């Protein structure tokens, strides 16, 4: 009896036309995340089978791969009644349960016993060997038996994180700050299959190296979700100082964010979308009128995955995906320094244009030309925290 991991694609199988594309992307992502493991991967149209000598560790890594809807630790035996019976007894031997049911799926119709009848065969066997009862509605254990060319027996199915394989949707650029919201927004974009890079506006010495390291760490945490993330660090100091020199304080943040969007849009045509962590009404720059004035500098689609979530809902996700503890570390962000006392909540476009009379194009170019690219999120950076 061989122990292995069986993966269910779920949502993917409904997209018939793109199925192969999906499956291949998923298997590439799985290979990448398991690159340090010894594994043998086989795939067909409905399942993937992963053989490895460390099933537990490998399946815990798989829990971070998008496009994966069910993960099962299964036992593979030859398709014949005696072998299956023996395997069921072995699998249940150390389990604590009072009630159970058997669910047989017979994909191989050459197998002579019908599913319902086979449920009875195995059910009687279990009743004879253990002090337990059948409960078809709410059993402690479900014994799944999938009869194919080989037979797979498993008990519990662990839910995968769902979504689509990262990369299936092309490239997006995530504006990643050290806050709580933008890592969650990035996670949600990855979940829909967008291959994200991250963009961080760095304003030393007004922002510290710790603030930057925090963003590097957050990018690294996101990258574990089968990403191919590169973090682009924009040297933003000069442009930001010019904004504060030239723009009345109540419009500082509005203009600052317009500059951020301009930079994000001029980095690379391969990015089809910009993603950020704005949430309607959270701060002055995220009222609907602020968002529309800020948005008007670009014709890129801007996706705001957390726009309609409450802060507490965003925090729940941040905790679940492992970014929260890092996000709440107390380092300042470029938006939190020089924050005006009374930021405008209803900014006017003509005023923005009037305030943008200073030479910002060359500064934007300088920002873009001097981007630092980080694609190694190893512990060296994290230890600096
Ligand atoms: P929180 O409210 O948890 O601090 P936040 O950082 O997301 O989250 P804001 O500072 O209002 O909140 O910024 C809104 C969005 O703008 C962020 O979610 C992020 O996408 C983007 N952003 C803000 N500052 C930066 C930065 N320094 N670099 C890159 N993107 C940024
Ligand atoms: Mg913030």
Q: Is the pLDDT of residue 385 over 50?
A: no
Q: Tell me the per-residue pLDDT of 173-186, one tens digit each, with 9 for 90 and over.
A: 999 999 999 999 99
Would you say the CB of residue 165 lies under 6 angstroms from ligand 1? no
Ligand 1 pocket mutation pick from 206, 277, 328 by most atoms within 8 angstroms of CB: 277
Highest average pLDDT, of 46-55, 92-101, 340-349, comes from 92-101
Would you say the CB of residue 182 lies under 6 angstroms from ligand 1? yes
Contact criterion met (CB below 8 Å) for 89 and 81:
no
Query: Which residues, other chains included, contact 88 with Cβ-Cβ below 8 Å and sequence gap of 6+?
Result: 122, 125, 126, 143, 145, 153
Among the CATH numbers 1.10.150.120, 1.10.540.10, 3.20.20.240, 3.40.50.620, which is that of 171-384?
A: 3.40.50.620
Domain boundaries 2-159, corresponding CATH code: 3.30.2130.30
User: Where in the chain are the domains?
Assistant: 2-159, 171-384
* Best CA proximity match to 9, nearest among 25, 135, 1: 25
Residue nearest to atom 31 of ligand 1 (CA): 177
pTM of this prediction?
Answer: 0.89
Mean pLDDT of all residues in the chain?
91
Euclidean distance between CA atoms 176 and 219, whole angstroms: 8
Would you say the CB of residue 343 lies under 6 angstroms from ligand 1? no
Q: Tell me the per-residue pLDDT of 158-210, one tens digit each, with 9 for 90 and over.
A: 888 999 999 999 999 999 999 999 999 999 999 999 999 999 999 999 888 99
Residue 101's pLDDT is 96
Would you say the CB of residue 225 lies under 6 angstroms from ligand 1? no
Q: At what angle do helices 237-246 and 252-265 cross, to 10 degrees?
A: 140
Report helix, strand or coil for 83: helix
């Amino acid at each position: 009896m061989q122990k292995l991991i069986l993966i269910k694609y779920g949502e993917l199988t409904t997209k018939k036309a793109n199925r192969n594309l999906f499956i291949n992307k998923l298997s590439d992502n799985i290979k990448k995340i398991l690159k340090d493991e010894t594994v043998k991967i086989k795939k067909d149209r409905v399942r993937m089978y992963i053989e490895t000598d460390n099933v537990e560790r490998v399946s815990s890594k798989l829990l971070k791969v998008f496009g994966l809807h069910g993960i099962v630790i299964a036992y593979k035996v030859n398709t014949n009644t005696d072998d299956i019976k023996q395997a069921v007894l072995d699998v249940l031997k150390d389990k604590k349960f009072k009630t159970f049911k058997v669910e047989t799926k017979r994909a191989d119709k050459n197998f002579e016993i019908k599913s319902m009848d086979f449920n009875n065969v195995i059910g009687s066997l279990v009743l004879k060997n253990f002090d337990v009862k059948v409960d078809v509605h709410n059993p402690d254990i479900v014994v799944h038996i999938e009869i194919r060319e080989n037979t797979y027996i498993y008990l519990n199915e662990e839910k995968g994180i769902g979504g689509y394989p990262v990369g299936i949707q092309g490239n997006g650029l995530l504006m990643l700050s050290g806050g709580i919201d933008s890592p969650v927004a990035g996670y949600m974009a990855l979940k829909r299959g967008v291959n994200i890079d991250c963009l961080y506006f760095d304003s030393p010495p007004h922002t510290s190296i710790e603030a930057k390291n925090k963003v590097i760490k957050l990018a690294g945490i996101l990258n574990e979700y089968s990403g191919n993330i590169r973090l682009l660090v924009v040297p933003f100091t000069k442009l930001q100082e010019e904004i504060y020199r030239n723009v009345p304080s109540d419009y500082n943040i509005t203009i600052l964010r317009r500059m951020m969007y301009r930079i994000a849009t001029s980095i690379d045509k391969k990015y089809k979308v910009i993603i950020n962590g704005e949430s309607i009404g959270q701060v002055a720059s995220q009222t609907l009128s602020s968002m529309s004035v800020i948005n008007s500098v670009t014709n890129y689609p801007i996706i705001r995955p957390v726009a309609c979530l409450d802060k507490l809902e965003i925090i729940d996700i941040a905790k679940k995906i492992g970014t929260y503890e890092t996000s709440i570390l107390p380092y300042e962000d470029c938006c939190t320094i020089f924050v005006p006392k009374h930021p405008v909540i209803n900014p006017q476009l003509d005023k923005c244009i009037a305030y943008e009379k200073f030479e910002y194009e060359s500064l934007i170019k300088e920002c873009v030309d001097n981007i630092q690219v980080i694609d190694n999120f190893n512990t060296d950076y994290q230890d600096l925290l």
